[in-house]
Chains A and B, each alone.
Chain A
């Protein structure tokens, strides 16, 4: 028997390789390849096993056979007894060749995946082919492994899809309609439908805002063009409740690159919207009713102070102080609301911003000794960031005794900017700092507490982080990603 491949053998091995490609699943991948092995080598049966290495040995899980399992077994006989049952039992045992009376069996390694079995009647497979076929086996092993990994990803994706705490639906466009092809658990749970009711139905059936199918389809076409990504959509549950959602739709593509539907993500914002409404009402009360009434009360107290005697005067002064404090809190809250509405981001030069704030502080607090040492740096921040820093600088100037010393340092490294504001005061009160650090609401005693919250919010809106250190005076640090690297 010749030890080198003939031209026909080379050609045939190449033709087998054409049949080895990852398919939609591992069984199809293996079956397509095995059919080619069988046809081109004129074999009678073949199988692929996946190797599972256990502590006590090796197990071989059948992936597929050609022909079907029972016909394969009748041709191949007991294959399992041919296979090594322990990694150490036979180092480098492949190929295993078992010559039978009627059928020769060949067991070959599929590296890092398993084994392939070929059964052949008539003439045996030549040594040259047997040696060279290992290249094909490696290709088959790679194809099967890729399908396995892809399957694992798909399983993870499906679990994520099913268990995501948001509503998710896949749609397919058919005859001008957008039909729901799949949806997750949260989708049917929130809407109260059975899966079989919604799957196959037009997604427009969920609309509560009188959108017809044509309008819905137009939005789908916008999604395909990338013009429609996120919108508010009111949908209706099975029992008639209306739910406000934020809908994000992205196109689904087939293998040819053609869009055929959408992935639609619905975030239920009904509760958030309700709380926003409540907040808006409370803000209006704070802004108008409370401040107006406080102004009236303050005026009345000032008038009453003119007629006060020794007994009533301290009480009126106390009431006046409380009223001013309440006015201050109300004004502070109004300021915060207005400042937080300024959410446009832009590149901010940290040094020039701080220089401007220091100049303002030196003017307002002439007794304060304020020093700024800064390295040039820019950050991508909201417009309101300067109000946050102002609150921190003013806080250092106001609560640090008669001769406050405030040091402002800007330090940079390759990626980050740290703005540090340190004073020689007693440190920030724990009961004001801790709620801000923890992000938990607490009773507000005066407007300076609001200033810390404002600083935290605008710094976080700018992608930064605020930390406090009160061991030796008060040190407040804000860390950002720099944009001028």
Chain B
């Protein structure tokens, strides 16, 4: 895979212009770290002038050659022309997005999907993608945006930096994908007796935070309050069960005024959740298992999308997670995302939290 890491915006703009003039480059992918990411006024003129399709996003951190970076940007070249669709209005409740999607995807190919993680209808778009294309292709991507939790332009497109949207790029190349998280159930199931979109209001008819606090305080032997909630919650996400697939993890990141818990991703009312707990070894093993599941051809060209909250939880041990993915050199490129999107070509397409997604290809 032909990719490069640049340190600042000037280098990024130069590289984009340079790739655009290279006849062998049919598509450009860009992952930028939020700390040094360009703003719209800097990069939009360049993006709009590109004759080569471009897609990507701004993420809390990025991964290049087995290491994570909180600055700079990664560009990767694609020698097969991608079909790039920009979906706007990702919080628009009246849209089903079908008119913004391509008529077909390359059968057996790969679809990169990056979304504004703070748009309110990410799941609706993912559902529309699966309902339109099914398992015709493998899907790979995640949520872009800032750890400041503020919505801002975060998607690279030929229209410029885009907010409240998604970029969907399909390429006629094969990938194999592994999806694992490694979180273990410690309590539950609890029925979601009240929920609105991404907010769990009540569990078993009890305010969600009250029940959640009780469970993890007992496990961690420390009183949980609103102040230390985020620090503790990163270790205890929720899991939504399904058969023959990884539980879908939901990451609570905020206590609401009414005692509810806001998560990255929807939690359907009526369904059940378990409280999960992290263990560094289990998480790292899961990342390795994701890579092993994907690496059926023993290739080193590895995309790796991992949840930023795993970094926050694993801290220094996260280097071991990177070492576990991609052989000797670690994953070639990737991003630490706000939610992950993938299927393994077998079953349903879902929006995950706190999950490791590895994709292996040797055709880029």
The interface of chain A, by Cβ under 8 A from chain B, is: 8-9, 11-12, 14-15, 18, 31, 35, 38-45, 66-68, 70-72, 74-75, 120-123, 125, 129
Contact = CB atoms under 8 A, between A and B. Distances in A.
Given A39-B350, A44-B346, A67 B243 contact: no
Interface stretch (B221-229, B267-275, B303-311): B267-275
Contacts of A125: 243
Interface in B342-359: 345-348, 350
Nearest to B248: A39
Contacts of A11: 189, 241, 272
A121 B346 contact: yes
Contact of A121 (B130, B135, B189, B271): B135
19 contacts: A15-B270, A18-B270, A35-B131, A40-B243, A41-B242, A41-B243, A44-B347, A45-B134, A67-B132, A68-B132, A70-B104, A74-B107, A74-B136, A120-B244, A121-B345, A122-B244, A122-B347, A125-B243, A129-B243
Contacts of A74: 107, 134, 136
Interface string B232-248: 00000000011111000
User: What class of interface size applies to chain B in its complex with A?
Assistant: 20 to 34
Contact of A68 (B131, B271, B272): B131
Interface string B131-143: 1111110000000
Contacts of A14: 272
B9 interface: no
Main secondary structure of the interface of A (DSSP, over half): helix
Sorted nearest first, the 4 A-B pairs with minimum C-beta distance are A67-B134, A42-B347, A42-B245, A71-B134
Contacts of A12: 241-243
Contacts of B345: 121
Given A15-B271, A123-B244, 6 more contacts: A8-B243, A18-B268, A42-B346, A71-B136, A121-B346, A125-B243
B127 interface: yes
Contacts of B272: 11, 14-15
Contacts of B270: 15, 18
Contact of A8 (B127, B136, B241): B241
A387 to B, nearest CB: 67
Contact of A35 (B104, B127, B347): B127
A75 B243 CA distance: 20
A152 B348 CA distance: 34
Contacts of A67: 130-134, 136
B268 A42 contact: no
Query: Which of A9, A70, A75 has the most chain B CB atoms inside 10 A of its CB?
Result: A70
A38 B271 contact: no
B109 to A, nearest CB: 13
B348 A75 contact: no
Contacts of B189: 11
A39 B241 contact: no
Query: Which of A9, A41, A67 has the most chain B CB atoms inside 10 A of its CB?
Result: A67
Given A8-B243, A12-B241, A12-B243, A120 B347 contact: yes
A70 B107 CA distance: 11
A75 B133 CA distance: 10
A71 B133 contact: yes
A8 B132 CA distance: 29
Nearest to B130: A67
Nearest to B240: A15
A18 B243 contact: no
B244 A42 contact: yes
Nearest to A43: B347
A56 B279 CA distance: 63
Contacts of A45: 134-135
A258 to B, nearest CB: 20
Interface in B109-156: 127, 130-136
A42 B243 contact: yes
Contact of A75 (B127, B132, B134, B350): B134
A170 B346 CA distance: 50
Contact of A42 (B107, B132, B133, B242): B242
B2 to A, nearest CB: 32
A39 B348 CA distance: 6
A125 B134 CA distance: 19
